[in-house]
RNA sequence: GCGCUUGUAGCUUAGUGGAUAGAGCGUUAGCCUCCGGAGCUAAAGGUCGCAGGUUCGAAUCCUGCCAAGCGCACCA
C-alpha cells in the first residue's frame, strides 16, 4: 500500500516537473509513515516539508500543488493538507477492510517479509559460562535473544541460533577444583573452602556424583592439597594466587586423566542443567559451540597468523599483543600471555573468524550490559581480520531487577545466593517470564515485578493478551455449539458491514501489524511487538464489550467472525514469537499449551 | 580519573528530526436482563534531568553540567 502511495506521489512530482513548476533536477525522497492519530488518516508524508528548503517555498503551498496534481486512486478516499504541511492520505473503507482477507489467507505468515534479504546470520545469546546454573540475570538475554531470532527469521533472515560454551580456561579449572575440594570434604578430610571458589550448593551435589562414581579414589590429605599454596584473602593473602595454587595442586595430585574425569563430570552436569533450564524457558538453539574445539583445532593459530601477517601483532614484556587501539579500541590487548597461554580474547578472535568461515554473512551478539567493553575490541578484531565491521553487530541488554512487594530483591552471585532462572519459571510461569523480559526496550533497565507477573488480571499484560485470544476462541466454540459455524466466504463478502467505531479501530490495529513487525526486526526490538500485542488485545476487548459478535444476522456475524479470527491469528502468532503460549481457554482445568 | 549506557506523569515506561509527547499501574467517577466482568468507558495527572547550540521544526542531533548503572587485567 505504501508503495502504491509512493507511485502516486512520484507521478505527481513528475507531472509538476514536466509543467516546469518544479525544477527538473529535483529528486525528492518520498517517505510514508502510518499515522499515530486516526484523525490524520492512514498514512502521512512530510515531503512538502522537506521540499520547502530546496524550492524556497512555503510547505503548505507546495503541498497544495502536489495535491492538485494527484490522480485519482481506487484506494484513496481523500488527501488532506494538515499542520505545517503534512499530506494525510485517507484510504477507502473498502481498502481498509481488505486486510482481513489477507490475514485469513496468509495465517501465521501474515506480516512475514523479506527485510533481511535472505542474509545468513548467526545469533548468539546467553553463552553463560558453564560454571553454575543460569540465574535471572541470564533470563533477559535468553528471552531477548530467542524472541529476536524468531522475529528476524520471519523477516527474511536465515537465522542460526548459537550458544558459545566456554568450556576452557581458568574459570573452568576453578570449577573443577571447587568440585574436588567439596569432594574431599565429603570424604571426611577437613578443608577450608577458598574465597574465590564456586560457593553454590550445586558444587556439593556434583561432588557427590563424583564420589558415587569413583569412591574415595581422588582423596588426598589436607596437607598435600594445601602444599605450597599461598594464603587466601581471609588469611591476609591474595585469593587469586590462592585459588591458582589449589588448581595447580589439583592437577599435580590427580594427574591428567583423573583431573579430566572430575572436570568432565562438572562440565556435563552443569551444561545439561543449563540446556534443561533453557528448554523449560522455551529458548532453543541450533548449535552449541564449544570453545575447546577452537583450541583443539587450528582456528586460533590461523586467526593469529592472519593478524601476524598483516603486522597487527607485536611482542612486549614477553607477551603477544594485538594492536586493537589501531582499530578504535582504547588500548592494545594481549592475545598470548607471558606464560604462553592464549587469552580468552584470542579465542574470541578465532570464534569470530570461525563464524564467517562457516559461511555466515553476519554475526549478531547479544551481550549483557556489563560486557559493553567488548564491543570495541571485537570490532577491532573484525577489522584486523579484514572482515566488514558492519557485519558484526552487538546488542546489549540492560540489567533486570526482580521486584517483590514493591522492593528490589538483592542478589549476590559471588556468595552463591541468587534466584535461578528455573525458580523464576516455576514461580511465575514461562509465559509471563518470557513476556516480562521483553516488554521493555532492551537498552532500558527493567524492573521485573513478580507479583504482577503472577497476577491473573488485566493489570498483567500477558494475561490480558492471552485473555483476548481465549475470548475469541470461546466465541467460535460457543457458536459451534449453537450450530452457527463460521463461514469465511460469507464473511469476506460482508466486510462492508464492519462499520462501527470499534471495528474501525480494530481494523486499523490489524493493518498496522506488518509495519510494526518490520520495525521490531529493523531496530532489534521485540518490545515493539509486545506493546503492539497489548494494543491489539485492548482494541479487541473494547470491541467485544461494545458489540456482540454472535448476532443472528448471518452476514454481520460472519464479517465479525472474520475480523475476530484475523485478530486471533495475529495474537497467536505474536505470542508464539515472544515465546509465550496462546491458550484457547484461561480456565486452568482445560489448558491448551498452544 | 577515563569510557560506555540511561534520565519522559506518583510508579513502570512508548516514542532514534515532525502535527496537541502516547500507554499501563495507581487515583477518582461510571458500566453486568448481553458471546467469559480475568472485561469495558471516562477524568485528573508532563518545565521530556538542567543549560546552551544546530534546524522551518528537537524528547530525539551536537556541546557542557548534574544524577544513576556498568566497564576500565598478561580474569573469564
CATH 3.30.1360.70 domain span(s) along chain A: 2-91
Range scoring the smallest mean pLDDT among A13-27, A371-385, A433-447, A517-531: A13-27
Q: Does residue A415 carry a pLDDT above 70?
A: no
Q: Is the CB of A482 under 7 A from strand B?
A: no
Question: CA nearest A38: which of A494, A503, A563?
Answer: A503
% of chain A surpassing 90 pLDDT: 66
Question: What is the predicted pLDDT for the residue at A417?
Answer: 59
CATH no. of A2-91: 3.30.1360.70
Spatial distance from the CA of A532 to the C1' of B59 (Å): 21
Nucleotide nearest residue A467, measured CA to C1': B38
Task: Give the number of residues written for chain A.
Answer: 594
Q: Each residue of A542-561: pLDDT tens digit?
A: 999 999 999 999 999 999 99
In angstroms, how far is B4 C1' from A560 CA?
Answer: 51
- Which residues in range 412-451 of chain A are in contact with strand B, contact meaning CB within 7 A of any of its atoms? 440-441, 443-447
Q: Which residues, including other chains, have CB under 8 Å from residue A460's CB and lie 6 or more apart?
A: A432, A452, A453, A454
CATH architecture of A461-590: Orthogonal Bundle (1.10)
In the prediction, which pLDDT does A583 show? 94
- For strand B, which residues in window 270-309 of chain A come within 7 Å by CB? none
CA distance A126 to A325: 28
What letter does residue A479 receive in the DSSP assignment? H
Q: Could you read off the pLDDT of A152-201 as tens digits, one per residue?
A: 999 999 999 999 999 988 889 999 999 999 999 999 999 999 988 998 89
A567 CB below 7 A from strand B atoms = no
| Separation of alpha carbons A521 and A319, rounded Å | 42
What is the mean pLDDT of the segment spanning A432-441? 94
CA distances from A45 to A103, A332, A516, A519 (A): 26, 48, 18, 18
Q: CA-CA distance, A196 to A530, in Å (whole number)?
A: 41
CA distance linking residue A222 with residue A185, whole number of Å: 10
Query: Looking at residue A590, what is its pLDDT?
Result: 44
Per-residue pLDDT tens digits for A76-112: 999 998 888 889 999 998 888 999 999 999 999 999 9
Query: What tens digit of pLDDT does each residue of A305-348 get?
Result: 999 999 999 999 999 999 999 998 888 999 999 988 899 999 99
Residue nearest to nucleotide B21 (CA to C1'): A36
* Smallest CA–C1' separation from A334, nucleotide: B74
HSE value, Cβ hemisphere, 13 Å, CA-based, for A97: 19
A593 confidence band (pLDDT: 50, 70, 90): very low
CA A547 → C1' B34, Å? 9
Rounded to whole angstroms, the distance from the CA of residue A373 to the C1' of nucleotide B60 is 26
Closest nt to A406 (CA→C1')? B11
In the prediction, which pLDDT does A411 show?
64
State residue A412's pLDDT score: 52
| Residue A355 near residue A122, CB atoms below 8 Å | yes
The whole-angstrom separation of Cα A153 and Cα A526 is 13
- pLDDT confidence bin for A208, thresholds 50/70/90: very high
Strand B contact residues in chain A (337-356), C-beta within 7 Å: 337-339, 341, 343-345
Distance from residue A580's CA to nucleotide B54's C1', rounded to whole Å: 45
Which chain A residues 486-525 have CB under 7 A to strand B? Answer: 523, 525
| pLDDT band with cut points at 50, 70 and 90 for residue A455 | confident
Q: Confidence band (pLDDT; 50, 70, 90) for A507?
A: very high
At A274-307, the pLDDT tens digits run 999 999 999 999 999 999 999 888 999 999 999 9
Q: CATH 1.10.730.10 spans which residues of chain A?
A: 461-590
CA–CA gap between residue A22 and residue A384 (Å, rounded): 49
Å: A241 CA to B1 C1': 28
Residues A281, A434: contact at Cβ < 8 Å? Answer: yes
B chain positions with any atom within 7 Å of a protein CB: 2-7, 12-16, 18-20, 22-26, 34-41, 56, 69-76
Q: For the residues A247-272, what does the mean pLDDT come to? A: 95
Decide: CB of A67 under 7 A of nucleic strand B: no
Amino acid at each position: 500500500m505504501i508503495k502504491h502511495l509512493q507511485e502516486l506521489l512520484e507521478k505527481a512530482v513528475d507531472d509538476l516537473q514536466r509543467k516546469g513548476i518544479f525544477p527538473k533536477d529535483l529528486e525528492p525522497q518520498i517517505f510514508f509513515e502510518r499515522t499515530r492519530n486516526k484523525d490524520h488518516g492512514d498514512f502521512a508524508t512530510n515531503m512538502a516539508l522537506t521540499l520547502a528548503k530546496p524550492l524556497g517555498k512555503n510547505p503548505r503551498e507546495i503541498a497544495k500543488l502536489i495535491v492538485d496534481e494527484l490522480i485519482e486512486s481506487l484506494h484513496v478516499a481523500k488527501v488532506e493538507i494538515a499542520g505545517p504541511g503534512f499530506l494525510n492520505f485517507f484510504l477507502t473503507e473498502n481498502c481498509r477492510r481488505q486486510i482481513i482477507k489477507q490475514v485469513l489467507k496468509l495465517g501465521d505468515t501474515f506480516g512475514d517479509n523479506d527485510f533481511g534479504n535472505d542474509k545468513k546470520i548467526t545469533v548468539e545469546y546467553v553463552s553463560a559460562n558453564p560454571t553454575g546454573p543460569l540465574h535471572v540475570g541470564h533470563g533477559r538475554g535468553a528471552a531477548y535473544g530467542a524472541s529476536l531470532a524468531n522475529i528476524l527469521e520471519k523477516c527474511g533472515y536465515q537465522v542460526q541460533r548459537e550458544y558459545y560454551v566456554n568450556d576452557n580456561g581458568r574459570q573452568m579449572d576453578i570449577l573443577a577444583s571447587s568440585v574436588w575440594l567439596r569432594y574431599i570434604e565429603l570424604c571426611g578430610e577437613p578443608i577450608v573452602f577458598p574465597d574465590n571458589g564456586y560457593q553454590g550448593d550445586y558444587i556439593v551435589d556434583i561432588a557427590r556424583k563424583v564420589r558415587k562414581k569413583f569412591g574415595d579414589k581422588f582423596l588426598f590429605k589436607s596437607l598435600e592439597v594445601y602444599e605450597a599454596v599461598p594464603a587466601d584473602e581471609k588469611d591476609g593473602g591474595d585469593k587469586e594466587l590462592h585459588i591458582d595454587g589449589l588448581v595447580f595442586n589439583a592437577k599435580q595430585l590427580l594427574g591428567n586423566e583423573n583431573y579430566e574425569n572430575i572436570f568432565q563430570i562438572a562440565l556435563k552436569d552443569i551444561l545439561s542443567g543449563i540446556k534443561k533450564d533453557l528448554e523449560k524457558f522455551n529458548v532453543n538453539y541450533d548449535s552449541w559451540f564449544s570453545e575447546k574445539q577452537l583450541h583443539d583445532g587450528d582456528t586460533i593459530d590461523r586467526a593469529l597468523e592472519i593478524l601476524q601477517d598483516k603486522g597487527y601483532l607485536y611482542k612486549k614484556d614477553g607477551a603477544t599483543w594485538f594492536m586493537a587501539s589501531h582499530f578504535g579500541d582504547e588500548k592494545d590487548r594481549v592475545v598470548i600471555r607471558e606464560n604462553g597461554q592464549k587469552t580468552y580474547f584470542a579465542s574470541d578472535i578465532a570464534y569470530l573468524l570461525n563464524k564467517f568461515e562457516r559461511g555466515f554473512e553476519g554475526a549478531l551478539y547479544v551481550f549483557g550490559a556489563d560486557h559493553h567493553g567488548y564491543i570495541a575490541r571485537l570490532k577491532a578484531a573484525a577489522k584486523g581480520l579484514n572482515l566488514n565491521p558492519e557485519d558484526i553487530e552487538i546488542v546489549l541488554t540492560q540489567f533486570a531487577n526482580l521486584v517483590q512487594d514493591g522492593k528490589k530483591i538483592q542478589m549476590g552471585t559471588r556468595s552463591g545466593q541468587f534466584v535461578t532462572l528455573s525458580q523464576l519459571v516455576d514461580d511465575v510461569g514461562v509465559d509471563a517470564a518470557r513476556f516480562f523480559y521483553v516488554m521493555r526496550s532492551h537498552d532500558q533497565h527493567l524492573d521485573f515485578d513478580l507479583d504482577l507477573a503472577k497476577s491473573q488480571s488485566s493489570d498483567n499484560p500477558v494475561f490480558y493478551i492471552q485473555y483476548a485470544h481465549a475470548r475469541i476462541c470461546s466465541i467460535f466454540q460457543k457458536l459451534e455449539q449453537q450450530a452457527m459455524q463460521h463461514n469465511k466466504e460469507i464473511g469476506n463478502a460482508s466486510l462492508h458491514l464492519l462499520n462501527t467505531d470499534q471495528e474501525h479501530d480494530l481494523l486499523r490495529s490489524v493493518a498496522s501489524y506488518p509495519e510494526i513487525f518490520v520495525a521490531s526486526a529493523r531496530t532489534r526490538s521485540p518490545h515493539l511487538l509486545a506493546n503492539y500485542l497489548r494494543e491489539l488485545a485492548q482494541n479487541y476487548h473494547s470491541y467485544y464489550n461494545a458489540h456482540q459478535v454472535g448476532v443472528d444476522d448471518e452476514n454481520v456475524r460472519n464479517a465479525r467472525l472474520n475480523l475476530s479470527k484475523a485478530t486471533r491469528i495475529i495474537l497467536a502468532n505474536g505470542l508464539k514469537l515472544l515465546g509465550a503460549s496462546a491458550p484457547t481457554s484461561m480456565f486452568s482445568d482445560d489448558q491448551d499449551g498452544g
